[in-house]
A and B are shown apart, each in its own frame.
Chain A
Amino acid sequence: MSTLLKPVIVAAAAALLAAQVFAADFPNKPIKLIVTAAAGGGEDTEARAIAPFVEKHLGQQMVIEDQPGAGGKIAFEKFMSIKPDGYTLITYTFPKSVIIEYQGKTGYKTRDFTPIFAWSRSSQILVVNGDSWKTFAEFLKAAKEKPLSGGLSGRGSTTHLMGLIALDELGINKVNWVPYEGSAGSVTALAGKHLDFTMSLSTSAVPLIQAGKLRPLLLFSDKRDPYLPDVPIPKDLGYEMSFIPTLRGVEAPPNTPAEIVKILEDAFTKAAQEQGFIDIAAKRKMVLHPVGSKEYAKAVADVYPKIAKFQSMLSAK
């Protein structure tokens, strides 16, 4: 027994030592950032926006690679077996990957990844056409009278789940959900009066809201959006709801050493505080909400039971 143990201890010590040495001059070559969305989409643009600032604080180049296949599933699965040396990171919109896990068999588990940092957060918003209901109360009354048509950014997406939760809480019987691919389609259809309302991410609807074509009635969050200060939240109207905020951030492969995590987390935190990045975020109406690695890990763990419950609601429909 002890003869086996000794080499194990030596190996462990060597590994620790190596990790220290490794961490000492990390990073010493470019870092690859895998983006699980298509080029030009919200996630990709945000990653490309923060990358130059992170580069400054890390002293190394960040190379972005888009791997959008299957909503990011392919990339997540590959990511499980990538070397945890800190040179490959992955971005994603949380809790997207968790939802995918519940939709079928996947070769990965989000809770195994090592969270580093999240920089922005967005919530779902309920919008109606500018020419229709003026207040949430009016809308609610109409929704209870007959089934309305509601746009979604996709079946099983965060907007869908939030919509189901909302139905439950608000006591609406039935809605004809119309899924689109991404928010752009559902928001446009609403502007053309083909839908009664739409659940979308706040950032996707902003241009049309500002132009007066759409009116936001409710923001599904626990505090108001600084860019849309007039939009009420459920608490204001007397409703209790659980939310699914979307966090955008980066993660490292499973079992990444803590020293490397710290270096990366610091770099990202400083990058998110750079004035240049804050300016860009303001233009995109991104709500900045820095979340450190520990908080992030907790958020991931917390969301699993919530999603499980909602998924069963989803398959019931």
Chain B
Amino acid sequence: MDALAQAIAFVLQWQNLAALAGGTVYGIIIGVLPGLGPSAGMALAIPLVMTWHPATALIFMGALYKCSNYGGSLTAILVNTPGDASNAATVLDGYPMCERGRGGVALGLSATSALVGGTIGMLCLIFAAPFLADFALEFGPAEYFLTAILALSLIAAVVQGATIKGLIAAGLGLLLSTVGFDVIAGHLRYTFGWAPIEDGIPLIQALVGLFAVTQALVLAESASSISRLAKLSGSFWEGVRTYFLHPVIVARAALIGLIVGVLPAVGQSSAGLLAWADAKRASRHPETFGQGAPEGVLASETATNACMPGDLVCTIALGVPGSVGAAVFLGVMIIFGIVPGPLVFVNNAEVIYSLFVALFLTSFLVFIVGMTVARRLAVVTLLPNNVIVPLILVVSLLGSFAIRNEMADVVISLAFGALGYVMLKRGFTPIPLLLGLVLGEMVETNYHRALLISGGSYSIFYSSVICKVLILLTVLSLVGPYLGPFWRTLTQGEK
């Protein structure tokens, strides 16, 4: 613990605090712009931090990476436009809360989620990183396949009441995920010779289209501003208080976020959605979800904030990045000579522990930012449509463009915008489609990989303990809703 005390003293030096604050603010701003994402922000900042002390540079980059998610939640709540795939679930309840004039409460919830979720995530990272990394190594293709199936099985929860439509949307998403270069056989599928989709349909661009463009179109059509009640009521602190009324949801969401984060290649986009679906499943009033239920915002935001530190576990402890942003962070580490891997805790202990302490503090900083700034930002919901519609379009399409500097990506976003709009008007929700798009590759690729390893034998899918647990969880999640009433009648019968 001596190292920890040293690290704390180090972080409290003014230049590190400045890096911390700078990274946090910059990260939040990047997060607010849909499509841009922390990877672009970090890559652009590399020339800036090259001359700094390694620990200071990593603190800046780490804070950037960790806090970009909060910026995304702001746009998700206020404008129904997730900043990144990880905020997609927050729009489900955050925006309806805003429409009902309870935006302040939603903002309070999301800030508190950043605080609590981030803290839980960081504590796990600090105390359990090597252990978590070893856990992640146990996941091979068979386990990843089953995890993706488990995630898909939660879809039904997202669309309770219109299950068939949800499944169809998911099916469409899964099919769209097959477009492009097939990792296993190397075959180009469904591309019709159009190069921009050879790597597959780019996820962020599709997300921008499905949510931002669609939302802009819906707004354009309705000729009013976002907040139906032209008054922003609902207090921030009420949101904070509400948060602490649901410790069980917090615990579950944080757990889901951590696990999703720790497993490299699962993709952080799913963390929020999975936690949301899980909270809805477990709730006594599932029908309130999607209409402005505070538990929805709580679950999805806590999970996403716990996910980011989890992502750093494998990046730092194994040298394996779990996401594009983590890959950039890894690159920065290497530039400074901090070689990630299990030895990093021995060789570069001071740098790593300073990083951890600093990241721990970012959660509090984000909360303070949320407390002071978020309410002011809420005024954006009162802007007239002719300003806010092009604003959303320009910012999100720019983000979509800037990822690969490809105008074709803008076209892709527009196409998805059209699709999203049509779906909304025809009674389909785009969330299962997003989930299918995100998880499709994980399902198919790992299925084939597992079979390649086992030489075609299916036994690999139930060989390890983790496999068996995953299968059990999947079965439970599918059967669970039916067991619930059954169980209740049993116990009530006893009274």
Chains A and B directly touch (beta carbon < 8 Å): yes
* Contact between B334 and A284, CB atoms less than 8 A apart: yes
Instruction: Give A44-64 interface residues, CB cut-off 8 Å to B.
Output: 44-45, 48-49, 52
User: Which stretch, B88-96, B229-237, B321-329, touches the partner chain A?
Assistant: B321-329
Interface centre among B140, B195, B198, B324, by most chain A C-beta atoms within 10 angstroms, is B195
Interface flags for B435-475 (1: CB within 8 Å of A; 0: not) read: 00000000000000100110100000000000000000000
Q: Find residues 169-197 in chain B having any chain A CB closer than 8 Å to their own CB.
A: 181, 183-186, 188, 195-196
The B35-64 residues at the A interface (CB cut-off 8 A) are 39-40, 42-43, 46-47, 50
Closest Cβ of chain B to A48, distance in Å, is 6
How many residues of B are in contact with the other chain, CB < 8 A? 53
Contact A70 B198 (CB under 8 A): yes
Cα–Cα distance between A179 and B444 once the two chains are bound (Å): 13
Given A69-B196, A283-B334, residue A211 in contact with residue B453 (CB < 8 A): no
* CB interface residues, A 180-216, toward B, < 8 Å: 180-181, 184-185, 187-189, 191-195, 206-208, 210-213
Q: Are B198 and A39 within 8 A (Cβ)?
A: no
**Which of B183, B185, B331 has most A Cβ within 10 Å?**
B331
Task: Determine the residue in chain B with the shortest Cβ distance to A146.
Answer: B455
CB-CB < 8 A to B47: which residues of A? 48, 52
Asked if residues A179 and B50 are in contact (CB atoms below 8 Å), the reply is no
* Interface residue B250 (Cβ < 8 Å from any Cβ of A): no
**A38, CB-defined interface residue at 8 Å:** yes
- 1/0 per residue B477-488: CB within 8 Å of A? 000000000000
Q: Beyond A67-B404, A188-B264, is A283–B335 a contact (Cβ under 8 Å)?
A: yes
A147 within 8 A of B: yes
Residue of B nearest to A64 (CB): B43
Roughly how many angstroms separate A208 CA and B314 CA in the complex, as a whole number?
Answer: 12
Closest to A285 in B: B339
Q: Is A240 an interface residue (CB 8 A)?
A: no
Within 8 Å CB of B188, what residues of A?
A: 104
- Tell whether, in the assembled complex, residue B337 and residue A207 are in contact, meaning their CB atoms are under 8 Å apart: no
Within 8 A of B (CB), among A70-111: 70-71, 73-74, 77, 103-104
Whether, in the assembled complex, A266 has its beta carbon less than 8 Å from a beta carbon of chain B, the answer is: no
- For B404, the chain A residues whose CB sits under 8 A away are 66-69
Residues of chain A with a CB closer than 8 A to B364's CB: none
Query: B310 contacts the other chain (Cβ, under 8 Å)?
Result: no
Say if the beta carbon of A163 comes within 8 Å of chain B.
no
Whether B139 sits at the interface, judged by CB under 8 Å, is yes
Q: Quick check: B335 and A192 within 8 Å, CB to CB?
A: no
**A201 shortest CB reach to chain B, Å:** 13
B411 interfacial contact with A, CB 8 Å: no
The CA of A78 and the CA of B138, in the complex, are separated in Å by 43
Once the chains are docked, how many angstroms separate the CA of A283 from the CA of B342?
17
| Residues on the A chain within 8 Å of B392, using CB | none
Q: B195 touches which one: A49, A73, A191, A211 (CB < 8 A)?
A: A73
**A246: interface (CB < 8 Å):** no
Q: Is the CB of B335 within 8 A of A280?
A: yes
Chain A 125-161 interface residues, beta-carbon cutoff 8 Å to B: 147, 149, 154-156
Shortest CB distance A121–B (Å): 18
* Interchain CB contact (< 8 A) of B137 among A40, A67, A180, A192: A192
Are B334 and A176 within 8 A (Cβ)? no
In the complex, the answer to whether A45 meets B331 with C-beta atoms within 8 Å is yes
Do B320 and A184 have beta carbons less than 8 Å apart?
A: yes
From B46, B195, B264, B314, contact of A69 by CB (8 A): B195
Is A19 in the interface zone, CB < 8 Å from B?
no
Shortest distance from the beta carbon of B40 to any chain A beta carbon, whole Å: 7
Contact of A284 with B335 in the complex, beta carbons under 8 Å: yes
Contact (Cβ within 8 A) A40 B341: no
Interface centre among A65, A193, A195, A211 (most CB of B within 10 A): A211
Checking A44, A185, A193, A195 against B331 with a beta-carbon cut-off of 8 angstroms, the contacting residue is A44
Q: Is B244 in the interface zone, CB < 8 Å from A?
A: no
A77 touches B43 (CB 8 A): no
Expressed in whole angstroms, the Cα–Cα distance for A104 and B314 within the complex equals 36
A38 to B455, CA, bound (A): 33
Q: Closest CB of chain B to A146's CB: distance in Å?
A: 9
Residue tally, chain A, CB below 8 Å to B: 53
Measured CB to CB, the nearest residue on chain B to A106 is: B195
**A189 lies within 8 A of B335 (CB):** no
Is A208 in contact with B318, judged by CB distance below 8 angstroms?
yes
Asked if B185 contacts A41 (CB within 8 A), the reply is: no
Instruction: List which B291-346 residues lie within 8 A (CB) of chain A.
Output: 314, 318-321, 324-325, 327-331, 334-337, 339-343
Question: Given B265, B343, B455, which contacts A176 in the complex, CB threshold below 8 Å?
Answer: B455
Alpha-carbon separation in the docked complex, A110 to B321 (Å): 31
Task: Decide if A178 is an interface residue (CB 8 Å cutoff).
Answer: yes
CA distance in complex: A119, B39 (Å): 26
User: Given the complex of chains A and B, what is the CA–CA distance between A272 and B23 in angstroms?
Assistant: 31
Which one, B184, B325, B335, B342, contacts A49 given CB within 8 A?
B335
Q: Could you tell me if B137 and A191 are in contact, using CB atoms closer than 8 angstroms?
A: yes
In the bound complex, do residue B199 and residue A40 qualify as a contact, i.e. CB atoms below 8 Å apart?
no
A117 at the interface (CB under 8 A from B): no
Residue B287 at the A interface, CB < 8 A?
no
CB-CB under 8 A from B449, the residues of chain A are 178-180
A177 sits at the interface (CB 8 A):
yes
Q: How far is A189 from B335 in the complex, measured between Cα atoms in Å?
A: 25
Measured in the bound complex, the distance between the Cα atoms of B334 and A280 in whole Å is: 8
Interface contact B42-A45, CB-CB below 8 Å: no
Does B336 contact A41, Cβ atoms closer than 8 Å? no
B198 pairs with A73, CB closer than 8 A: yes
Set of chain B residues within 8 Å of A39, measured between Cβ atoms: 39-40, 42-43, 324, 328
Q: Which residues of A contact B140 (CB under 8 A)?
A: 189, 192-194
Question: Is there contact, CB below 8 Å, between A40 and B455?
Answer: no
Determine if B141 and A40 form an interchain contact, defined as CB atoms under 8 angstroms apart.
no
Q: Is the CB of B195 within 8 A of A40?
A: no
B343 partner residues in chain A, CB cutoff 8 A: 207, 210-211
Q: How far is the CB of A52 from chain B (nearest CB, A)?
A: 7
Q: Does B405 contact A (CB under 8 A)?
A: yes
Write the nearest CB–CB distance from A293 to chain B, whole angstroms.
27
One of A38, A77, A103, A211 near B342 (C-beta < 8 A) = A211
List of B residues within 8 angstroms of A41 by Cβ: 327, 331
Q: A52-B50, A284-B335 are in contact. List 5 more A-B contacts (CB 8 A).
A: A38-B327, A48-B46, A69-B196, A176-B455, A192-B136
29 A-B pairs with C-beta separation under 8 A: A39-B43, A40-B42, A40-B43, A40-B328, A40-B331, A42-B331, A44-B331, A45-B335, A66-B405, A67-B405, A68-B404, A70-B181, A70-B196, A73-B198, A77-B195, A155-B184, A179-B184, A181-B183, A184-B264, A188-B264, A191-B137, A193-B140, A194-B140, A207-B319, A207-B341, A208-B319, A208-B341, A211-B341, A211-B342
A-B complex: 3 closest residue pairs judged by Cβ atoms:
A40-B328, A194-B140, A207-B341
- Listed in ascending order, the chain A residues whose CB lies under 8 Å from chain B are 38-42, 44-45, 48-49, 52, 65-71, 73-74, 77, 103-104, 147, 149, 154-156, 176-181, 184-185, 187-189, 191-195, 206-208, 210-213, 280, 283-284
